[in-house]
């Protein structure tokens, strides 16, 4: 009889910790996946390197030969609070490599979001960390060797109006130290309805990047007067323009 009670007591004492552990267990928040597609345009036309001719606000024709820009530290603001979910990291979007036009973000909380924000450029921490790998690898041609730091946006082409040799224009914008800090951030709102992400599902978000806005907005760029910006001189004029080159096209869920 004693042995039977002893066995029962041992069994009870073994079960109790398991029950306590089970009761204290909290399920992990439901996650989903977000794929952001950056679609490069010039006005209403898809951007085509080397072949297409475009017209700026001054009536000057031009072709685009190179277009690259960094997107960093993507932030999603929750619909029902002022809190945000932030994904640290930098992504290089380059027109000449289609596989860079999409950014895949895993482990995003399944929730509703009112807007998306991101930095155009590379944050000061990574600018101070020297040459790095991946999107920040110098092999991408976006790292200044003469002035440690990254080029945030590179826009190059040709125009008959340019007075530079070969009729080229080139805008290489970078700089993170005051008073020459040209890091810019933008916020895009889901105006008609919140973007709702479903657990274990994928949401596709399409963002338009209008390269024509590099040349207009706060400052109208005249190729005959400003065909080359490759340091801090006049870089603010270009940066203040391109901060407005992004807009949301649409988003959809894969069920």
- Beta-carbon-side half-sphere exposure of residue 219 (alpha carbons within 13 Å): 16
CB 94 within 8 A of CB 139: no
Q: pLDDT tens per residue, the chain (255 residues)? A: 545 445 554 544 555 555 444 455 555 568 899 999 999 999 999 999 999 999 999 999 999 999 999 999 999 999 998 899 999 999 999 999 999 999 999 999 999 999 999 999 999 888 776 667 899 998 999 998 766 689 999 999 999 999 999 999 999 999 998 899 999 999 999 988 999 999 999 999 999 999 999 999 999 999 999 999 999 999 999 999 999 999 999 999 875
What lies within 8 Å, CB to CB, of 15 at 6+ separation is none
Q: How far is CA 59 from CA 15, 167, 220, 223, 238, in A?
A: 81, 16, 11, 10, 18
User: Which pLDDT score, from 0 to 100, does residue 28 have?
Assistant: 52
For residue 74, count other CB atoms closer than 10 A to its CB: 22
What lies within 8 Å, CB to CB, of 175 at 6+ separation is 149, 181, 182, 183, 232, 235
Q: How far is CA 246 from CA 28, 56, 188, 206, 243, in A?
A: 34, 18, 8, 10, 7
User: Which pLDDT score, from 0 to 100, does residue 2 have?
Assistant: 44
User: Which pLDDT score, from 0 to 100, does residue 233 have?
Assistant: 92
- Total number of residues shown for the chain: 255
């Amino acid at each position: 009889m004693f042995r039977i009670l002893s066995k029962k007591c041992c069994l009870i004492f073994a079960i109790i910790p398991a029950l306590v552990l089970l009761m204290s267990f909290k399920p992990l928040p439901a996650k989903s996946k977000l794929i952001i597609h950056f679609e490069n345009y010039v006005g209403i036309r898809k951007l085509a390197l080397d072949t297409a001719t475009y017209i700026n606000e001054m009536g000057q024709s031009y072709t685009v030969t190179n277009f690259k820009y960094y997107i960093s530290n993507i932030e999603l603001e929750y619909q029902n609070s002022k809190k945000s979910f932030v994904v640290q990291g930098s992504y290089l979007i380059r027109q000449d490599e289609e596989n860079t036009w999409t950014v895949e973000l895993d482990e995003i909380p399944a929730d509703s979001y009112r807007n998306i924000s991101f930095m155009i450029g590379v944050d000061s921490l990574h600018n101070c960390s020297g040459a790095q790998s991946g999107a920040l690898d110098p092999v991408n041609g976006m790292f200044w060797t003469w002035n440690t730091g990254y080029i945030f946006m590179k826009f190059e082409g040709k125009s008959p109006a340019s007075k530079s040799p070969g009729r080229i224009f080139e805008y290489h914008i970078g700089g993170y130290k005051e008073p020459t800090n040209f890091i810019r951030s933008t916020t895009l709102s889901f105006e008609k309805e919140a973007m709702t992400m479903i657990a274990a599902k994928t949401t596709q978000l399409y963002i338009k990047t209008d390269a024509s806005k590099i040349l207009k907005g706060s400052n109208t760029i005249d190729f005959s007067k400003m065909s080359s910006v490759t340091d801090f001189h006049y870089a603010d004029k270009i940066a203040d323009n391109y901060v407005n080159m992004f807009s949301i096209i649409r988003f959809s869920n894969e069920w």
